[in-house]
Amino acid sequence: MTLALDTLGRLESEAIHIFREVAGEFDRPVILFSGGKDSTLLLHLAIKAFYPAPVPFPLLHVDTGHNFDEVIEFRDRVVARHGLRLEVAKVQDWIDDGRLEERPDGTRNPLQTVPLLDSITQHRFDAVFGGGRRDEERARAKERIFSLRTAFGQWDPKRQRPELWNLYNGRHRAGEHVRVFPLSNWTELDVWHYIEREGIELPDIYYAHEREVFLRDGMWLAEGPWGTARAGETLQRKTVRYRTVGDGSCTGAVESDAADIHAVIAEVAASRLTERGATRADDRLSEAAMEDRKREGYF
Amino acid sequence: MSDLLRLATAGSVDDGKSTLVGRLLYDTKSVLADTLDAVHRASADRGLATPDLSLLVDGLRSEREQGITIDVAYRYFATPKRSFVLADTPGHVQYTRNTVTGASTAQLAVLLVDARKGVIEQTRRHAAVLALLGVPRLVLAVNKIDLVDYDEVTFSRIAKEFTAHATALGYTEDAVVEIPVSALAGDNVVDKSANTPWYSGPTLLEHLENVPVEPDPHDAPFRFPVQYVIRPRTAEHLDYRGYAGLVAAGTVKPGDEVVVLPSGRRSTVTKIDTADGELAEAAAGQSVTLLLADDIDISRGDLISVAGNEPKVTDELDATLCWLAEKPLRTGARVLVKHGTRTVQAVVTELCDRFDEQKLSSVDIPSSLELNEIGRVALRLAEPVPLDDYSFSRRTGSFLVIDASDGSTLAAGLVGAPLPLLENGVESCSGGGENATPDNHALVSPGP
């Protein structure tokens, strides 16, 4: 056995340390869990952090209703296997009772913010784990591992606390909460290497499969409850996979033959597009799209 | 898998730091096509002829508007030799506190100067902060060398002046390297420049790839702040009681005799547990769970140490503070101190001196410590805490000073006086003397 940790060992150790700090200092933490790659990794690390005891936090899924069936099935299976508690906040419920309005473009990713903040208030969650990584996007690159949010869930980049050594300051006033990002220092490639090393199961849609898709704004979108091809767009059968999983109306697939983890790693290593740029329409809204959504309380 | 180098960059406004970082990312092919397209588009929108590489890193709207970096940005890039975590810290004077943030975990810092201006006040201040925080190695990137016509004499003069300053701060000569670069043109960042034939040293990236990484000090005495007690209380693990934490210093093996602080109770390590199975040994940097032979009372905040070489347990503390808050620190202030996994109330009993990083000496006994000032203070803690000197261990010799009323982080605290120069100042802190009466009108109210 070697005592020197490699890069993945260091990242794992850091994430476990962060989970344990939160367990020690907060009363009501929760893990955001969608069944996607990053939140599955997050849960895997949480399980390791408290082994052999169960994870001392519930899970929360803010459900856009624009889901891939495979991901929801996977989500429920993982929750059952580990005996976890899952809260689901459905965007549809907020639309049905008038607290939210459907957007003209039909995209629901931006609508997640209100159900998220309402759930945090309702359950009095004081620490909310997210799978955000700093390599995803420029505004995220400035995010702290412990990120203080106001009672309105807002992120003020100029009021962020200096984060020194590995001493995390989680103090907050009543009504405020802290977003915690244990994967801050991971890159997309680190995530895939770790998934390979640990043999972590993911929903099938991360690997190449055949699917009916249509091209919109340079992205391959699938049809679903959120709609289908418009005039001038043609549905066609393609071999694709997803690099991120979110609202089906704005999460694009990429053409890929990478049917297993080794092929995915080779593809990611050679890729010329970032994960978000390739597959997330909502980040293209403006030059500061992510910053604006973060300020409002989005992850 | 390659190893990891954590580095920080520091420099003044307009030294071209974001451009240098952008250049490192660009030339190591760490910038992907869509990101680059966005930069090309945004540069063209502003009427620039060539892509502005600083746009790769300046993420916030106000940064792009002002053309400056406001907050620490973390960047990730890798070469076949190494992975890099880069903390890009702003140079704007009111954001110097971010340099402290970036430096606190860095193994190396790249300081930038403008070749036309040379070493300036901000450079000296940054170097002092880096030295204080124990960043083991420095690189001085003499940027915009193209704007002084690649002049060797200019470079040598700046390099000599900086080496003298770094040496005075306690750096050995082999820990400091100066490199003439142009971030804009790419000279000596990744590829060797034909414009500086007089320079025979490495390019910036060559240096970053090959510089020795100081390992975690494995030969240091074992230190383990307890984060959390794991008690499954399941049928399978009925009597399991494990102490979860990250090894802060040294190594531990089953059979090692340990002492739990501050209680002083002794026991023996029976098992080092992880989700992947038991370990025969654990070392600094590893997150593990320790099981002990005796059923003694241990909770979050306690420190498990090797028996026989323990930190001092004390409620009086001499420390160096980097003051990071807008509101000044005054004698009598009530604050919280977060050290390891323990947070205790504290009173600032004395402001002992203030460090002038320009003159490299302590200047006076201040009546207050203001934003960005570094000084020595005496603190009295509400309960005894096991403390190592910062110069012994960055992990167990560091602490946060926290405002109990709003929870903000007020200062970076270092146990003792890590800069040798500080010891040559006015006489040492007397520690919390009897004259140290708490001031109830002080800036920070008592915690709940």
Nearest to A142 among B71, B78, B105 (CB): B71
- Establish if A197 belongs to a structural domain: no
Residue range B3-210, CATH number: 3.40.50.300
- Establish if A198 belongs to a structural domain: no
A3: chain B residues, CB-CB within 8 Å: 218, 251, 281, 283
Same domain as A163, residue A36: yes
Tell me the domain boundaries of chain B.
3-210, 223-306, 312-423
- Establish if A262 belongs to a structural domain: yes
| Chain A residue closest in CA terms to B273 | A51
User: Rounded distance, CA B228 to CA B237, Å?
Assistant: 17
pLDDT at A154: 81
Nearest to A164 among B100, B233, B279 (CB): B100
User: Rounded distance, CA A296 to CA B232, Å?
Assistant: 39
pLDDT at A283: 47
Same domain as A261, residue A164: no
Q: For chain B, what percent of residues have pLDDT higher than 70? A: 82
3-state DSSP of A235-250: CEEEEEEECCCCCCCC
Confidence of residue B63 (pLDDT cuts 50, 70, 90): low
pLDDT at A114: 87
pLDDT at A279: 53
Same domain as A218, residue A176: no
Q: Which of residues 196-225 of A touch B (CB under 8 A)?
A: none
- A263 to chain B, closest Cα gap in Å: 18
Answer whether B234 sits within 8 Å of A52, measured CB to CB: yes
CB B348, CB B316: distance < 8 Å = no
Burial of B275 from C-beta contacts in 10 A (0-12 / 13-18 / 19+): middle
Got the DSSP string for A60-105? EEEE-S---HHHHHHHHHHHHHTT--EEEEEHHHHHHTTSS---TT
- Summarize the confidence of residues A41-59 as an average pLDDT: 96
Answer whether A21 sits within 8 Å of B341, measured CB to CB: yes
pLDDT at B148: 96
What is the assigned CATH class of domain B312-423? mainly beta
- Summarize the confidence of residues B234-257 as an average pLDDT: 94
Burial of A210 from C-beta contacts in 10 A (0-12 / 13-18 / 19+): exposed
pLDDT at B162 over 90: yes
Q: Which domain holds residue A225?
A: 203-282
pLDDT at A136: 80
Find the range with the poorest average confidence among B42-46, B96-100, B178-182, B337-341. Answer: B42-46
Whether A49 has its CB under 8 Å from any CB of chain B: the answer is yes
| Chain B residue closest in CA terms to A280 | B34
Quote the DSSP letter at residue A157. Answer: G
Kind of pairing between the strands at A86-90 and A59-63: parallel
User: Rounded distance, CA A202 to CA A131, Å?
Assistant: 15
Give the residue, B136 or B358, on which the prediction is more confident. B136
B97: chain A residues, CB-CB within 8 Å: 162
- Output the six-digit token pair for B163: 């080496």
How many residue pairs from chains A and B have C-beta atoms closer than 8 A?
182
pLDDT at B31: 63
Q: Is the dihedral of CA B408, B410, B411, B413 positive or negative?
A: negative
- B23 to chain A, closest Cα gap in Å: 16
CB B197, CB B159: distance < 8 Å = no
User: How many C-beta atoms lie closer than 10 Å to residue B174's C-beta?
Assistant: 8
Return the CA Rg of chain A: 19
Same domain as A127, residue A76: yes
- Summarize the confidence of residues A237-258 as an average pLDDT: 84
pLDDT at B447 over 80: no
Q: Enter the pTM of the model.
A: 0.88
pLDDT at B178: 97
pLDDT at A196 over 60: yes
Nearest to A21 among B227, B275, B324 (CB): B227
pLDDT at A297: 60
Quote the DSSP letter at residue A55. Answer: P
For domain B223-306, give its CATH number from 2.40.30.10, 3.40.50.300, 3.40.50.12500, 2.130.10.30: 2.40.30.10
Nearest residue to B245 (alpha-carbon basis) of B342, B382, B371: B342
pLDDT at B143 over 90: yes
Nearest to A187 among B72, B76, B246 (CB): B76
Average pLDDT along chain A: 85
A98-157: per-residue pLDDT in tens? 888 888 877 777 788 888 999 999 999 999 999 989 888 766 777 889 999 987 878 776
- Summarize the confidence of residues B363-374 as an average pLDDT: 83
Q: For chain B, what percent of residues have pLDDT higher than 90? A: 53
pLDDT at B305 over 80: yes
- Summarize the confidence of residues B47-57 as an average pLDDT: 69
Find the range with the poorest average confidence among B223-232, B356-365, B416-425. Answer: B416-425
B289: chain A residues, CB-CB within 8 Å: 51
3-state DSSP of chain B: CCEEEEEEEEECCCCCHHHHHHHHHHHCCCCCHHHHHHHHHHHHHCCCCCCCHHHHCCCCHHHHHHCCCCCCEEEEEECCCEEEEEEECCCCHHHCHHHHHHHHCCCEEEEEEECCCCCCHHHHHHHHHHHHCCCCEEEEEEECHHHHCCCHHHHHHHHHHHHHHHHHCCCCHHHEEEEECECCCCECCCECCCCCCCCCCCCHHHHHHHCCCCCCCCCCCCEEECCEEECCCCCCCCCCCEEEEECCECEECCCCEEEEECCCEEEEEEEEECCCCCECCEECCCEEEEEECCCCCCCCCCEEEECCCCCEEEEEEEEEEEECCCCCECCCCEEEEEECCEEEEEEEEEEEEEEECCCCEEEECCCCECCCCEEEEEEEEEEEEEECCCCCCCCCCEEEEECCCCCCEEEEEEECCCCHHHHCCCCCCCCCCCCCCCCCCCCCCCCC
pLDDT at B254 over 60: yes
For residues B346, B347, B351, B354, the Cα torsion angle rounded to the nearest 10 degrees is 30
pLDDT at A192 over 80: yes
Same domain as A131, residue A18: yes
- Output the six-digit token pair for B15: 């030294």
Same domain as A121, residue A70: yes
User: How many C-beta atoms lie closer than 10 Å to residue A24's C-beta?
Assistant: 18
Same domain as A185, residue A46: yes
Same domain as A82, residue A165: yes
- Output the six-digit token pair for B82: 């190494």
Same domain as A255, residue A151: no
Same domain as A176, residue A233: no
Nearest to B32 among A167, A273, A288 (CB): A273
Which residues, 6 or more positions from B154, have their beta carbon under 8 angstroms from its beta carbon?
B115, B118, B148
- Establish if A215 belongs to a structural domain: yes
User: Rounded distance, CA B263 to CA B270, Å?
Assistant: 20
pLDDT at B58: 60
- Establish if A89 belongs to a structural domain: yes
Element spanning A24, H or E: helix A7-25
- A97 to chain B, closest Cα gap in Å: 35
| Chain A residue closest in CA terms to B217 | A4
- Summarize the confidence of residues A27-38 as an average pLDDT: 94
Same domain as A146, residue A215: no
pLDDT at B442: 36
> B425 in the Ramachandran plot: left (φ > 0), alpha (ψ -120 to 50) or beta?
beta
Whether A136 has its CB under 8 Å from any CB of chain B: the answer is no
- Establish if A195 belongs to a structural domain: no
| Chain A residue closest in CA terms to B96 | A162
Matching CATH topology for B223-306 and B312-423?
yes
- The total number of structural domains in chain A stands at 2
pLDDT at B426 over 60: no
Highest mean pLDDT among A253-257, B238-242, B286-290, B319-323 belongs to B286-290
User: Rounded distance, CA B191 to CA B204, Å?
Assistant: 9
Asked, as a colleague might, if the bond just before B80 is cis with ω within 30 of 0, I would say no
Confidence of residue B445 (pLDDT cuts 50, 70, 90): very low
Same domain as A229, residue A177: no
In sequence order, what are the beta bridge partners of A59? A31, A86
CB B408, CB A156: distance < 8 Å = no
Q: Is A19 helix (H, G, I), strand (E, B) or coil?
A: helix
In sequence order, what are the beta bridge partners of A237? A212
pLDDT at B361: 65
